[in-house]
């Protein structure tokens, strides 16, 4: 573990292996640059020019300090344009430093002092520390060789006092959660059956001030969770359903926020089996559940003021003699029936039960995270999550949380026009659209059938749950995407106004005449305004 502290001492005199100093674009020195220039002994600019260091974000170079300071060498870190330095720049800088200095055990740095456009000292320190820890992350569980970072101590030059200390502590708590989520995603599916994944969650959450309940198959049957049971029935490793409750201390608590995460520990596609290549990374398919559970581990330590409940259905999607078949009909927890035409569209089936449970539990707002569709990756690429929902104000809260966290999301619509693509001949809904197009949207529309009138947002994280290479604070493999967004969201949670109740069109006992149609949605105008307002 890397420990962080703030110091008001002269950085030239702080004992450390390395002195890390920021430089802006065109080699403009940041705070502490004068110390490096003096110790280097003149001609630093020419030296940097020759070495090809210009001060672009993420660039680093080691420079000798010739015994003139307590640290032997300096690492210069590029931050780019001075007036564009923000939290994301500092996170990236921290990660670049962590990679460059993985062999050093201690660092003293002035980097967090380089932000002067509206970023507080504590926000700067927190973002930088996040970057250092996340950039140091390595999954070496199964490597015979390979070393964890040697870095143990980072001292930040700062006059920010207690607020900076608190921000550093907060960064520790959050990044520890992110690292747990990454570990779980990187773990091979063979080593994380639903039972084992649930047990790992219980271990993580023990002593974290939350209540954990794990449902087995019999208990899920009692709860009528036909989606989770149906998807899970093809695997010899039975499904589990993890529910975690956080109750804030003190009386100020307002509202309950539900976090729902897709926990498919391996997605072979089931009988609608994926091609070999499509399966290679499908141990990643539980990233939503990992992010949601990891977030629950931070709430007590961060003093979150709202009630938060996590729902993580865990299954393995496998073909077998006992697997669900294309054409089978499942009855979900809320009574709606679903014709499963493609067993590879399994995520929505397990989320349906989880969302329906969150509704009857009395959530004031819900957000789900799911590696749901390849279509979303086609639309937004590997770095940006798709954001959908039924309440523009609530979607905006999720959007700004993700902006603050530095985890990119982008709104996608849930068009009324596509609703009919999910009409089934035999059941209330089909689990894939009749058109192959717009798959991220039809998946979102499917989920919406299980949230009733509760304000709900959906993050399709199929792209950003995994990184193809080290990039800034992200490391190759599982990214833990969503943890930082969810932490921001719960910290700033403002319970949205309840939505007006729709006239009850019971899905349990549909009148004979409308039995062939899925329940109609609310009035056109309401839908349209909701849809367009998420397309900001």
Q: Annotated catalytic sites, by residue?
A: 274, 348
Smallest distance from the beta carbon of 379 to ligand BES, in angstroms? 11
Smallest distance from the beta carbon of 319 to Mn ion, in angstroms? 12
14 vs 106: CA distance, rounded Å? 10
| C-alpha 310 chain-centroid distance | 14
Smallest distance from the beta carbon of 521 to Mn ion, in angstroms? 26
Taking CB under 5 A as the binding criterion, the range among 36-44, 293-301, 336-344, 520-528 that sits at the site for Mn ion is 336-344
460 binds Mn ion (CB under 5 A): no
The site that binds Zn ion (CB under 5 A) totals a number of residues, namely 4
Taking CB under 6 A as the binding criterion, the range among 353-361, 370-378, 394-402, 412-420 that sits at the site for ligand BES is 370-378
The candidate with the shortest Cα–Cα distance to 91, out of 491, 406, 475, is 406
Smallest distance from the beta carbon of 488 to Zn ion, in angstroms? 26
- Decide if 404 contacts 428 (C-beta within 8 A): no
The candidate with the shortest Cα–Cα distance to 302, out of 175, 193, 197, 478, is 175
187 binds ligand BES (CB under 6 A): no
347 binds Zn ion (CB under 5 A): yes
267 binds Mn ion (CB under 5 A): yes
DSSP E strand stretches across 231-333: 240-246, 256-261, 263-267, 307-317, 328-331
When the beta carbons of 296 and 332 are compared against Mn ion, the nearer one is: 332
Single out the residue of 59, 122, 285, 353 in contact with ligand BES (rule: CB under 6 A): 285
DSSP state at residue 334: T
Residue 436 CB partners (closer than 8 Å, separation 6+): none
The site that binds ligand BES (CB under 6 A) totals a number of residues, namely 16
| Torsion angle of the four alpha carbons 112, 115, 120, 125, in this order, in degrees rounded to the nearest 10 | -20
345 binds ligand BES (CB under 6 A): yes
Site string for ligand BES, 437-466 (x = CB under 6 A): --x----------------------x----
Residue 76 CB partners (closer than 8 Å, separation 6+): 20, 21, 22, 23, 36, 48, 53, 60, 61, 62, 63
Residues 262-321 within binding reach of Zn ion (CB under 5 A): 264, 267, 285
When the beta carbons of 466 and 499 are compared against ligand BES, the nearer one is: 466
| C-alpha 527 chain-centroid distance | 28
Query: What number of CA atoms fall less than 13 Å from residue 238's CA on the CB side?
Result: 10
Smallest distance from the beta carbon of 189 to Zn ion, in angstroms? 12
Smallest distance from the beta carbon of 182 to Zn ion, in angstroms? 19
DSSP state at residue 419: G
59 binds Mn ion (CB under 5 A): no
Tokens 């900001």 locate to 536
432 binds ligand BES (CB under 6 A): yes
Residues at the interface with Zn ion (CB under 5 A): 264, 267, 285, 347
Residues at the interface with Mn ion (CB under 5 A): 267, 344, 346
């Amino acid at each position: 573990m890397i420990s962080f502290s703030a110091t008001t001492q002269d950085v030239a005199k702080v004992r450390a292996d390395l002195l890390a100093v920021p430089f802006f674009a065109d080699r403009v020195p940041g705070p502490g640059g004068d110390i490096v220039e003096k110790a280097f002994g003149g001609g630093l600019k020419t030296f940097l020019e020759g070495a090809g260091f210009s001060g672009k974000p993420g660039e680093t170079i080691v420079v000798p300090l010739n015994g003139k300071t307590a640290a032997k060498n300096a690492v210069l870190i590029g931050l780019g344009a001075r007036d564009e330095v923000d939290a994301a720049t500092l996170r990236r800088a921290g990660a670049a430093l962590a990679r460059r200095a993985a062999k050093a055990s201690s660092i003293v740095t002035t980097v967090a002092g380089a932000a002067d456009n509206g970023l507080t000292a504590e926000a700067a320190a927190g973002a930088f520390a996040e970057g250092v820890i996340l950039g140091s992350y390595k999954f070496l569980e199964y490597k015979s060789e390979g070393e964890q970072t040697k870095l143990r101590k980072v001292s930040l030059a700062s006059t920010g006092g207690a607020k900076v200390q608190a921000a550093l502590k907060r960064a520790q708590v959050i990044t520890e959660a992110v690292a747990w989520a990454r570990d779980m995603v990187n773990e091979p599916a063979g080593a994380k059956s639903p039972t084992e994944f649930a047990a790992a969650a219980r271990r993580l959450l023990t002593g974290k001030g939350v209540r954990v309940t794990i449902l087995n198959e019999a208990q899920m049957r009692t709860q009528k969770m036909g989606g989770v049971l149906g998807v899970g029935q093809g695997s010899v490793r039975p499904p589990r359903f993890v529910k975690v409750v956080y109750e804030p201390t003190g009386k100020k608590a307002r509202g309950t926020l539900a976090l729902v995460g897709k926990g498919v520990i391996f997605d072979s596609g089931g009988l609608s089996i994926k091609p070999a290549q499509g399966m290679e990374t499908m141990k990643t398919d539980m990233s939503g559940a990992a992010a949601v559970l990891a977030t629950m581990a931070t709430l007590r330590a961060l003093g979150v003021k709202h009630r938060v409940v996590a729902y993580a259905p865990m299954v393995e999607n496998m073909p077998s003699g006992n697997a669900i078949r294309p054409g089978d009909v499942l009855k979900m927890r809320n009574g709606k029936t679903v014709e499963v035409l493609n067993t590879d569209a399994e995520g929505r089936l397990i989320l349906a039960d989880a969302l329906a449970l969150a509704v009857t539990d009395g959530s004031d707002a819900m957000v789900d995270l799911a590696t749901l569709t390849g279509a979303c990756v086609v639309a937004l690429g590997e770095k940006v999550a798709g954001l959908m929902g039924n309440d523009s104000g609530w979607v905006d809260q999720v959007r700004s949380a993700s902006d603050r966290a530095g985890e990119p999301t982008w709104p996608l619509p849930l068009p009324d026009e596509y609703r009919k693509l999910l009409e089934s001949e035999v059941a209330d809904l089909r689990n894939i659209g009749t058109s192959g197009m717009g798959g991220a949207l039809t998946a979102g529309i499917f989920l919406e059938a299980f949230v009733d009138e509760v304000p709900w947002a959906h993050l399709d994280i199929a792209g950003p749950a995994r990184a193809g290479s080290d990039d800034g604070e992200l490391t190759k493999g599982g990214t833990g995407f969503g943890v930082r967004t969810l932490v921001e969201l719960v910290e700033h949670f403002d319970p949205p106004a309840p939505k007006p109740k729709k006239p009850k069109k019971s899905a349990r006992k549909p009148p004979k005449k409308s039995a062939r149609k899925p329940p109609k949605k609310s009035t056109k105008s309401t839908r349209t305004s909701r849809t367009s307002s998420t397309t900001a």
